[in-house]
Amino acid sequence: MTTDLTRVYMKDGHVDVDHYRDLALQKQKEHARFLATLKKKKPKHLDQVVKKTHAEVFELIDCTKCANCCKTLGPLFTEADIERIAKAMKMKLGHFEETYLRVDEDGDKVFNCMPCPFLGADNLCSIYALRPKACREFPHTDRKKFYQINNLTIKNTLYCPAAYLFVEKLREELGY
């Protein structure tokens, strides 16, 4: 199964998450080798290529036609996230945490259930301007020193079609 990197595969008006997950599963080892190569021998212009590739992918992908991250991956909440969102919702910190969060096996505060309770039926976030840092940065494909998060990138390709397309376009751009 190959991917046309100039279009987004859709199903019933939404990004075909299953299609991209299947592709990502098939290419996990290939992607891991590619990313490991980048870590060992970083091209001098890697940060610029990453930024350009990220922008190209997000010109293609409309996250509101997917929202798989909001449906399946719970973000980690920092104390600053909790304070900011609770304040905006006019909730006491304890009440916000009791209502929406739990402590996971790693000791991190995450949603107590998925999908995200702030995700609307239209795939829009009701707290978008206040969303947690982890949500703002996801899928982490526009950061400097991108090669430092290879394992996370591989994981994200399984959930995020944009992350999958990013890795594929980056490989193409760098000639791998």
pTM: 0.93
How confident is the model over 99-111, as pLDDT tens digits? Answer: 999 999 999 999 9
Question: Do 133 and 79 belong to one domain?
Answer: yes
How confident is the model over 146-156, as pLDDT tens digits? Answer: 999 999 999 99
Question: Do 149 and 130 belong to one domain?
Answer: no
Question: Do 113 and 147 belong to one domain?
Answer: no
Name the domain count of the chain.
2
Residue numbers of the domain that contains 62: 17-70+139-174
How confident is the model over 118-138, as pLDDT tens digits? Answer: 999 999 999 999 999 999 999
Amino acid at 62: D
How confident is the model over 43-72, as pLDDT tens digits? Answer: 989 999 999 999 999 999 999 999 999 999
